[in-house]
Structures are given as C-alpha cells and as structure tokens.
Amino acid sequence: MRKEECFYLGKIAKKFSFKGEVLIYLDTDEPELYENLESVFVDHNKHLVPFFIETSSLHKNDFLRVRFEDVNNEEEADALVGNAIYLPLSMLPKLSGNKFYFHEVIGFEIEDQRLGVFGKITSINDSSAQPLFEVLNGEVEILVPMIDHFLVKIDRENKKVIMNLPEGLVEMYL
C-alpha cells in the first residue's frame, strides 16, 4: 500500500501499559467511526506496514487504546510511538452535498457564478488558519479561500467546485 492510496488517521501518541498497548491520537471529528478497526498501516521507516489489531477501545475523546498483534511489551510498543497511522482511502465515509475531502477535489475545475470557470484546483493549502484552494489559470496561481459562505456547490458528476466569490478576488491575480 502506498501513501497516495491512504489517508492520515493520526499517530501513535504514547504507550499505555506494560502489555504493549498504545494510545493512538485520532485526527478526526468522529473518532467513534474508527473504534472497531481490524488493522491499520503504520508509517515505519518511511514504509507503510500493516499492523493487526487484537483489541481497541476509545480512550477519552480523541484517543484509541490499541493492542496490536505481536506487540507484547513496553519496549515493542515504545518503538512505535510517534509513528503516523494510515488507512486506505476506500475506508473514508462517503460525503455528499457540499461536504468534501480535500483530496477528492484536486483536479476539479473551479467556477465562479459571475466569471465562469477560471482554473483547475491543483492542491489545498491548509497550513494556515484559513484553508485555500490553489488554482492554476494558465501559468498564474490563484489562491481562493475555502469559506462555506462562498461555496455554492460541489458538482462531483462534472468535477466542478462552484463558488460565489467577492468581486475582485480572482481579478487581482489576472
């Protein structure tokens, strides 16, 4: 399995018991969806390695207490601490309407109700407080704020993000 075929679920935050259990921080709004996993991929030495889960339970709000098969003591658990956890993209819950995963709109055209189509989404910049669509219009990169108020429709069938952007936002790049 390659990282491109997976999504980041969280990371192994710390060991939990002398029996080799660990706490996985779940980077999700709905941790309960991942309480009964059979396996996960652990990013170990830049390779995704499958780990099978013997037992798991939610711990506090954002943590999953896990006992992996073949991890039987503190030392073995300690070697996993800090590693990222991934799952296949196929395990993401399906979204509908105007809810979307960042990866699914990459390559979509972006259309303003006033200007029409003005480029293709090449990536999402979520390194700041306000995520941005990075849009390519010819050789020009346009940054479009991902604000619910601007979003009109996610048209999955036609691979378009339709927005109602403030006048001047796109034009200042062109």
Can you give the pLDDT at residue 67? 97
The three-state DSSP-derived secondary structure of 120-165 is EEEEEECCCCCCEEEEEECCEEEEEECCCCCEEEEECCCCEEEECC
Can you give the pLDDT at residue 8? 93
Can you give the pLDDT at residue 95? 87
Tens of each residue's pLDDT in the chain, 174 residues = 898 899 999 999 999 989 999 999 999 888 999 999 999 999 998 999 999 999 999 999 899 999 999 999 999 999 999 999 999 999 988 888 999 988 899 999 999 999 999 999 999 998 888 999 999 999 999 999 999 999 999 999 999 999 999 999 999 998
Does the reported pTM lie above 0.75?
no
Structural domains for the chain: 3-91 (2.40.30.60), 102-173 (2.30.30.240)
Q: What type of residue sits at position 53? A: I
Can you give the pLDDT at residue 155? 96
